[in-house]
Amino acid sequence: MDQVIRAVAANVRALRTARGMSLNELATASGTGKGTLSRIEAAQANPTVETLYALADALDVPFGSLVAAPSVELTRAAEIPEVAGAVHARMLTQAAGASLVEALDITFPAGTVRRSSPHPNGVREHLYLLEGRLRAGPEGSEVELDAGDVLRFAGDVGHSYEPLDGAPARALVLMAY
């Protein structure tokens, strides 16, 4: 149960801030007391299903967006399966159900931190680190990657990218809408 409470806390806070809403505004829009909402976001309350549906409606997201554990999947280079034959192929990631997938080759200059605002609801990012080292992911769940690692995460929350070791990093980023 604690895992669900923590997931709800993180999701409500991330979705509220992504929409630029104050605690007061969300409390009013959902009919939830400001104190209750504050305790929910601090993972100090176990909200009822009715409260969660009211919050989901006020945030204009499906119920599952509030209760699902934030999904950040890291696959280390050594764990990526390879199939050999006439060619060698490695399955880096899959973007199921996406209506649009954009592929970006991005270089992150040394000494910078790129903070990204949330993308539209439902966007997933798939990052394959080609060169360098990089700290990346949703705010509060960033992980360190080495060249060859693959990171998948919800792009509809604030996230960041920071090259490490004083050197630039380069990645192939797939944006699945």
Q: What does the pLDDT read at residue 28?
A: 96
What total number of domains does the chain contain? Answer: 2
- Mark whether 97 and 157 lie in a shared domain: yes
CATH code: domain of residue 26: 1.10.260.40
Q: What angle do CA 44, 142, 119 make, to 5 degrees?
A: 90
The mean of the pLDDT values for the chain is: 88
Q: Is the pLDDT of residue 159 over 90?
A: yes
Q: Which amino acid is at 97?
A: G
Q: Tell me the C-alpha to C-alpha distance, in Å, between residue 57 and each of 18, 66, 128.
A: 15, 11, 35
Q: What does the pLDDT read at residue 70?
A: 67
136: confidence class by pLDDT, cuts 50, 70, 90 = very high
34: confidence class by pLDDT, cuts 50, 70, 90 = very high
Give the separation between CA 105 and CA 94, rounded to whole angstroms.
17
- Mark whether 110 and 158 lie in a shared domain: yes
**In sequence order, what are the beta bridge partners of 108?**
169
* Burial class for 20, CB neighbours closer than 10 Å (0-12, 13-18, 19+): exposed
pTM of the model: 0.61
Q: Select from 129, 123, 138 the least CA-distant residue to 175.
A: 123
End-of-domain residue from the set 46, 67, 88:
67
- Mark whether 167 and 100 lie in a shared domain: yes
- Mark whether 95 and 172 lie in a shared domain: yes
Residues with Cβ within 8 Å of residue 132, at least 6 apart in sequence: 108, 147, 163, 164, 165, 167, 168, 169, 170
Q: What does the pLDDT read at residue 160?
A: 95
- Mark whether 100 and 123 lie in a shared domain: yes
- For residue range 45-80, list pLDDT tens digits in order: 999 989 998 999 999 888 888 887 767 788 888 888
- Mark whether 165 and 112 lie in a shared domain: yes
